[in-house]
Structure formats: structure tokens, C-alpha cells
Amino acid sequence: MYFRGANTEKKVALTFDDGPDAKYTGQILDILKRYHVPATFFVIGNQVPYYPEVIKRMVNEGHIVAGHSWSHPNLSKLSDAQVRQEIIKTNQAVKSVTGKNMAMIRPPYGAIKGKEKVINQMGISIVQWSIDTLDWKSGRTSQQVEQTVLQNLSPGSIILKHSGGGNRSTTVQALPGIIESLKQKGYQFVTVNELLEIPAYRE
């Protein structure tokens, strides 16, 4: 299980959970394209069939697609068989769209206790985060989201944001400032698998 990368180089990974959706994921992709920044999207499996073009765009524009379960349950409360199904269904949905077999998952709520072994046995790496921007909280401003990143930033940080699952306008508003501030500080943006030196996909 990974919470951050090595702190030897000024590299960070932007990650986005709970997509794809019809509105905010596309706006986030537009910003990332404008700044030439790669990111990692941990997607909800049951949303993939509704927005296959968004998933294809992620891959085509150099981002990594990873799993975030099929239906966003607390995995630690499921049976091992249910956990496997959450992962398998999501991976099948993404593979049908992209041809790629995902090798990373972020558990919803970060809840994974007791299920690490069953997931690792599937050949899948568990990726958590080191900076939670709390961008999903109502009332949070884009300035607060950006400040949370800057106050907790260090080389190897994995930054958690959201591209779907609700009103993500704050996330969209905060993203350009975060990218510009980190670039000014000399940080390079990489995908999670590159930061952690693990495979994003399996053969």
C-alpha cells in the first residue's frame, strides 16, 4: 500500500477520484491539457459505461486510469468475494473501452483494512494519498483547497482531488492555481505509477 512517493526529487502526482462524469471531469481534462500536466484518475466502474468518451480522452491525452471500485462501497465491510467483484467489474468496464487492464486501485474512503491481501493477490497495487484537499466539502473555497496543498506539500506528495460524484466546481476553480504555484516552486507533475515506480496496467 502506497501513501506517497520517494522524497528525493521534486515530483508530485495529481489524482482525481469519483469520475467520470458529464460536467467536471471534462473541465479538469481541459485544464490539464492547457498546462501539459499528466494526472491519474481513479474511476468508478458503474460510471464508465455512461461516459466512455471521457475515459478514452483520459488515455489519449496521456493520463492514467485506475480503479476506485464499481459502486463506491466501504471495501473493508465486504466479503473477499465481493471485493474481487468490485475490482473485476470495474477493470472489465475500463478494458472494454481502452483495452487496458488496470493494476492500481484506490479504495473508497481509503477504507481497506483486512482486504489488502485479497487485492494484492489479484496483482493490484493499493494507492492512497498524502494530501487530502477536502475539495468535496461544501463551503470549501478554491483558495482553501490550494492552501491545503501548499501547506502540506513535499517531494513525493500524492494529492487527492475529485472529478465527479457531486459539485466539483471548487476543484475546477482551484486547479490552475495549484498547478501554477507548484510549477513556480520547481515541482514536476507525474502520474502515480511513475512516482511510485509501479505498473499502471497489466499485460
CATH code, domain with 195: 3.20.20.370
Alpha carbons 55 and 106: distance in angstroms, whole number: 17
Question: Would you say residue 93 lies in a domain?
Answer: yes
**The pLDDT of residue 203 is above 90:** no
Domain assignment present for residue 3? The answer is no
Q: How many helices (H) and strands (E) does the chain have?
A: 7, 10
Question: DSSP secondary structure string, 31-54?
Answer: HHHHHT---EEEE-GGGGGG-HHH
DSSP secondary-structure letter at 166? S
Please state, in angstroms and as integers, the Cα–Cα distance from residue 143 to each residue in 9, 112, 134, following that order. Answer: 26, 31, 12
Nearest to 104 by CA among 7, 190, 191, 31: 191
pLDDT digits 0-9 by tens, 171-201: 999 999 999 999 999 999 999 999 999 999 9
18-50 residue pLDDT tens: 999 999 999 999 999 999 999 999 999 999 999
Segment 80-85 shows an average pLDDT of: 98
The answer as to whether 5 is a domain residue is no
Please, which pLDDT band fits residue 140 given cuts at 50, 70 and 90? Answer: very high
Residue listed under C-alpha cell 491539457? 33
Residue 156 lies in a domain: yes
In a domain, 95, yes or no: yes
- The number of folded domains in the chain is 1
Identify the domain containing residue 107 by its residue range. 11-202
pTM of the model: 0.98
Other beta carbons within 10 angstroms of residue 107's beta carbon come to: 26
The answer as to whether 1 is a domain residue is no
Residues assigned a catalytic role? 17, 162
